[in-house]
Amino acid sequence: MAAGNLTAADIVSATAFVIVMIFLVNLLVCLMTDALNNYWIRSAKEEEASPPAGHVRGNVAAVKAAQIVPTQYADQRIAV
């Protein structure tokens, strides 16, 4: 580029540069977001897998007290 003279090629080049930079920043943001989501999901699963002492997950007493009554369909199988 000459001093003070913008040509069409300069404008196209600058526009292409801006588009590529926007794409790269967007890609970086997407990758970092995905990495953070995976980290948060993994952290949540680890917390769920090792609950603190004395912690009961769900209503265990209600599940144990529930009577499972077989129905007339209990012995039927799905034919494929």
pLDDT in tens, 27-36: 999 888 888 8
**Greater pLDDT, 19 or 61:** 19
With cut-offs at 50, 70 and 90, classify the pLDDT of residue 9.
very high
Question: What tokens appear for 51 in the block?
Answer: 């609950």
Whether the CB-CB separation of 10 and 1 falls below 8 Å is answered with: yes
Residues with Cβ < 8 Å from 51, sequence gap 6 or more? 57
Residue 14 has what pLDDT?
A: 96
- Boundaries of every domain in the chain: 8-65
Residues with Cβ < 8 Å from 1, sequence gap 6 or more? 7, 10
pLDDT in tens, 37-73: 887 777 777 766 665 555 555 566 666 666 565 556 5
Predicted TM-score (pTM) of the model is: 0.45
Whether the CB-CB separation of 47 and 55 falls below 8 Å is answered with: no
Residues in the chain, total? 80
* Residue that is written with structure tokens 């540069």 in the block: 17
